[in-house]
Chains A and B, each alone.
Chain A
Amino acid sequence: MELKHILEALLFSAQKPLTPGELQALLVAANEASPNPFGDAKARDIVAALETLSQEHEAGGRTYRLVCVAGAWQFASQPEYGLWIRALVGQKPRPARLSKPALETLAIIAYRQPLTRAEIEQIRGVGIDGVMQTLMERELVEVAGRAEAPGRPPTYGTTKLFLEHFGLRALDDLPDASELRRIPLEKPREPVTSGQDTTTEAPAQATLEEVLQSEPSATPAPTP
């Protein structure tokens, strides 16, 4: 018997997703009831064992996966079997789908948090009052702090419910997180003009990737 087998058995029978901390507490409790070699497993070992299990299930091509959502682990079916499971248990109780404006705003907050309302509006180019209210009411977004700016405006971030709604483990689990979360929000680089006799380099040579990967504090290109 290995640690991962015990964890698998626990999660198979669990009533709710369990965090590594909760799993550790269960191992301790079981050890008190009947001393065994797994009582003093470290949280680190537990996470490693869960990762191994998860990979094994994936490699085994099972119709379910051991997934981590917002830091807690659970077994969940693969989406392609939803049709049949729905016939069995019915439609999942689920809030309405988000509108396009809500999804856009949410995407900006998710990748760039924490940021102020004004910063979000700057990216979207439109006011977001109604959309923000919806996102706050649905508890997908919350006030994360206050910006070091005049008036100390509140900054916003996503909630645990956001991760759960989208089945994400953490913010790094967002699609293209490494790229999008790094894009500098502010300050363009050296302006580029369209004419031939410009004082700066031509814009056509800048690829999307270059722009995206540029450092936020990139210094303006020297002018001849």
Chain B
Amino acid sequence: MADYKVQFEVFEGPLDLLLYLVKKEEVDIYEVNLTKVAREFIEYVELMREFDLEVAGEFLVMASTLLHIKSRDLLPADLQAVDEDGEEGEDPRWELIRKLVEYKKFKDAAERLEFIEHAQENVYPRLPVAVAPDPQPAPARITASLFDLLGAVNEVLRRFQTREAREIYAEQWTVGGKIADIRERLAGSAQLRFGDLFAAAGSREEVVATFLAILELVRLRQLDLIQEDAFGDISLCRSAEFEWEAGPATAAVMES
């Protein structure tokens, strides 16, 4: 009994059950022995009545139709013909098969729809993110070229060119130290002028160390160099790509 119950839940209605019984016969829907199917159908309905009377209502109508067909089949053929002519002229057998064929068509169509529905879940439309118009267009920023940079550092170095006398002293300025210095200064202000960085420089070595520190920070993409006008002053600003609060990990990189 329990097995039957599970099966009932699969059937959407009497036509569904009927279709299942016809399929079980493994014959063409037009050649199925409706009398035999009728018996099986009624057996199912008998079981269903024990479980769910409400559902059985529609099934009972079908059961009575099947019984009607069965009763006609029991009549001798000549009697049947007379009977048919006398009545509405509609063979309930044909009527039922026609309904069954139509129902099957839509049951199949529903399966195809289901297939499409599932396939559709794997279809991703291309919906690019909106290109939001910039509300405040930034001033035209020209990215400084390497030559602009060399020109700028030469400008600074020129200050020290006149010194002829040479001293030998311990290396006071390291690139790592200058990186830390630049980072610290940029933490305070968003932008630094290139010239200002060298304003306090007291030697070529310090200028060179500072310059190398800038190049290294640019290479690490922590720093952007910007020139607002062609041949204008170069400014340093924090790169948008880099999280500046990340700590002084860069000093170590420099030693290589």
Contact = CB atoms under 8 A, between A and B. Distances in A.
Contact of B124 (A92, A188, A192): A92
Interface in A87-118: 89, 92, 94, 97-98, 100-101, 103-104, 106-108, 110-111
Interface stretch (B40-48, B92-100, B158-166, B230-238): B92-100
A77 B102 contact: no
A165 B123 CA distance: 11
B12 A94 contact: no
B110 A197 contact: no
B81 A198 contact: yes
A153 to B, nearest CB: 20
Interface stretch (B125-133, B167-175, B191-199, B209-217): B125-133
Given A92-B121, A126-B58, A191 B91 contact: yes
A196 interface: yes
A79 interface: yes
Given A74-B125, A94-B121, A180 B31 contact: no
Contacts of A86: 122
The size class of the interface chain A forms with chain B is 35 or more
A148 interface: no
Contact of A82 (B73, B121, B125): B121
Nearest to A127: B58
A150 interface: no
Interface residues of B, number: 55
A61 interface: no
Contact of B94 (A111, A125, A168, A203): A203
A149 interface: no
Interface in B47-76: 58, 62, 73
B255 to A, nearest CB: 39
A16 interface: yes
Interface of B: 12-16, 28-31, 34, 58, 62, 73, 77-78, 80-81, 84-85, 89-91, 93-95, 97-99, 101-103, 105-107, 109-114, 116-128, 130-131
Interface pairs A-B: 9 shortest CB-CB: A82-B122, A126-B13, A191-B91, A125-B15, A79-B122, A75-B126, A195-B77, A103-B110, A107-B109
23 contacts: A75-B126, A80-B122, A81-B124, A82-B121, A94-B121, A100-B114, A103-B113, A106-B113, A107-B110, A110-B109, A124-B106, A166-B113, A166-B117, A174-B109, A180-B106, A183-B105, A188-B94, A191-B89, A194-B34, A196-B77, A197-B80, A199-B81, A208-B101
